[in-house]
Every structure is written in structure tokens, then in C-alpha cells.
A and B are shown apart, each in its own frame.
Chain A
Amino acid sequence: MNRVFKALSDPSRRRVLQLLRQRPMSAGELADHFPVSKPTMSAHFSVLQEAGLIEAEKTGRTIVYRLKMSVLEDALLGFADTLGWKMKAAGDTRHLAANGRPKPRPLKGEV
């Protein structure tokens, strides 16, 4: 559940989920809606996939992303949008922009 909260804490990732509510979209179609680099978008997709909120499927030469949210996760997305959650989002986004991939999770026992 932690991964879900982390994924929903970022406004860009929430926007991706809102776009996917309309229909499944390719990575390119989704990236067109955001003024960020492709590696950054790719990192956002990875975080959403890790949380189990979206699923990627390769069709031909494109990767199509689909929503894979339970009703509870859908409701959480609605709450997050309404309340504008920004848990740790600023730090994560800075890390994404600098490295093009999400911040690595600390190992067990590591602080």
C-alpha cells in the first residue's frame, strides 16, 4: 500500500492515471501531455507499474499503458486529487529530474 501512496503523491503520476481513465494510451501519447523529458516520464511509468496501478503491454512496436486500479485505489486517486496530496513528491520529482529514474528504495535495516 505504501507504493500506492507514493505513486499517488505526485501530481504528474496522478495526471497519467486520469488520462488512462479515458482509454489505454501509448507511452508517446501520454508523454505528449507533459513538458518533461522521456526518461522522466519513463520513471513515472515505472513507479506506477511498481505500485500495480498501470500495466504495460507491447503491441507491435509501441508500449500501451492501461489502468489497473482497484475501486479503493480509484477512490484514493479521487481523494488525492481533491486534497492535493504532495507527500514527499517534491523530493522525488527533484530526484527524477536529475537522474531520470525514481529514488532507490532503502534496503532492509538501512535508514
Chain B
Amino acid sequence: MEAKPTSYYLAPALLVLGTGLAVANWYLRPQRAVVWGTVLLLLGGMTLALLLVRHRSGDEAAGRHGADSVRSGIVFAGLTIAFSLSVKLATTLGAAAHSDLSQRVTMTLLGAFLVLTGNVIPKTLTPLSALACDPARLQALQRFAGWTWVLTGLAVAVAWLVLPLRLAEPISFVLLPGAILLIVVQLFRFRYARQRPA
């Protein structure tokens, strides 16, 4: 029997944990019902997605790979939500003094997510036979996008870990759109070069 990936068990566990934490937060701070309700809706959507991939992934490799990707995304999102809700709960109960901890943890996790996703961008290959462009240029674009994403993620994570909030906020709000803009510009240059006659 094939071993299940860790995300197979971790994803539903994190969804249950997140739901429990959201309900506990709602009970202790009912004045912020809209926030907790939104979180619960989000968790419900993630549960639905998890159930769908469980039924539709099938036995073929492509289906399994797709299901694994969805589960990994749910694990990451579930981890972020659970962490954030735990800190909110701890702050409400007086166990945690820093009210900015939740924001710091969330943004650091976002940085880590960028690092993880950027890391695999150059590893995603399209078969040469299916390519309608210069493979060398596509490879250069993928490497550029991967490196940009990873470095931006690292910078965001480090900024939210070590810098004061008044600095971390503007830095990440410059870095993230800047990285996206850089990649989009490269993408347009790539497309323009592809369309230009040789």
C-alpha cells in the first residue's frame, strides 16, 4: 500500500484546529463576530476543496500530483490561520502580551510561502515538443521569476521577524508589488521577443 503524504493527515487536522480556535475566539470576543464568521466561511471553503480533491484525485499520477498541491496549499493556509487565531486567543486570555505578534507571524509565514513557491518555479518544465517559444528564453524567465520570488520572500520574512512594525510594513508593501512588477515586465519582454519576427 502506498504511503500517504503528511499533508493528507495534516490538512484536515489544521482545518479542525482552525475551526475550534475561531469558535473559541467568537465566544470570548463576540463584538468581532464578522471577523470570526469570515474566518469560519474561509475554513468551510477549504474543507470543501479538501473533500473535492479527495473524491476526484483518482489513481493517475497527474490527479495525485494536483491533489497534493491543493493539500499543501491548505496546509499552509491552515497553519497561518491557526497560528494567527492562537495568538489572538492567547492575547484575549492575557497569556500573550504582544498584540502585534499575530501580524508578525502571518507575514513571516507569507514570506516563507513565497520562498517555497518561488524555489520550485524553475523546476516546472513544459515538454519541448509542446513549446511554441525559445526554450532558452523561457528557462531564463523561469529562473528570473524563481530567484525574484525567493529573495522577496526572504526579505519580507526577515523584515517582519526583526524590524519594528513601522519599518516592516512599508518595506513589504514596496517589495511585494516591486517583485510582481519586475516579473510582469520580464514576462512582457519575453512575449514581445517571441512575437517579433527573427
> Which residues of A come within 8 Å of B, CB atoms?
21-24, 52, 55, 57, 59, 64, 66-72, 74
Cα–Cα, bound, A64→B146 (Å) = 23
The listed residue (A21, A23, A55, A59) touching B125 by CB distance below 8 A is A55
Contact B128 A69 (CB under 8 A): no
Known: A66-B135, A71-B118. 20 other contacts (CB 8 A): A21-B143, A23-B135, A23-B136, A24-B135, A57-B127, A57-B128, A59-B129, A64-B128, A66-B128, A66-B139, A68-B122, A68-B123, A68-B125, A69-B122, A70-B120, A70-B123, A71-B121, A71-B150, A72-B150, A74-B122
State the main secondary structure of chain B at its contact with A. helix
Contact A23 B139 (CB under 8 A): yes
State the main secondary structure of chain A at its contact with B. mixed
Please give, as numbers and ranges, the residues of chain B lying within 8 Å of A72 by CB-CB distance.
119, 150
Please provide the chain B residues from 106 to 148 with a CB less than 8 Å away from any CB of chain A in the complex.
118-123, 125, 127-129, 135-136, 139, 143, 146-147
The listed residue (A21, A22, A23, A69) touching B123 by CB distance below 8 A is A69
Contact A70 B125 (CB under 8 A): no
> Which residues of B come within 8 Å of A, CB atoms?
118-123, 125, 127-129, 135-136, 139, 143, 146-147, 150
Contact A71 B139 (CB under 8 A): no
Contact B146 A70 (CB under 8 A): yes
Q: Chain B's nearest CB lies how many Å from the CB of A58?
A: 9
Q: Chain B's nearest CB lies how many Å from the CB of A52?
A: 8
Please give, as numbers and ranges, the residues of chain A lying within 8 Å of B147 by CB-CB distance.
71, 74
Contact B128 A24 (CB under 8 A): yes
Please give, as numbers and ranges, the residues of chain A lying within 8 Å of B121 by CB-CB distance.
71
Cα–Cα, bound, A22→B139 (Å) = 9
Cα–Cα, bound, A24→B138 (Å) = 11
Q: Which residue in chain A gives the minimum CB-CB distance to B145?
A: A71
Please give, as numbers and ranges, the residues of chain B lying within 8 Å of A67 by CB-CB distance.
122, 139
Contact B129 A24 (CB under 8 A): no
Contact A66 B146 (CB under 8 A): no
Q: Which residue in chain A gives the minimum CB-CB distance to B142?
A: A67
Contact B136 A22 (CB under 8 A): yes
24 contacts between A and B (CB under 8 A): A22-B136, A23-B136, A24-B128, A24-B136, A52-B123, A59-B128, A59-B129, A64-B128, A66-B125, A66-B139, A68-B122, A68-B123, A69-B122, A70-B119, A70-B122, A70-B123, A70-B146, A71-B143, A71-B147, A71-B150, A72-B119, A74-B122, A74-B143, A74-B146
A71 with B122, Cβ < 8 A, contacts A24-B135, A24-B136, A66-B135 known: yes
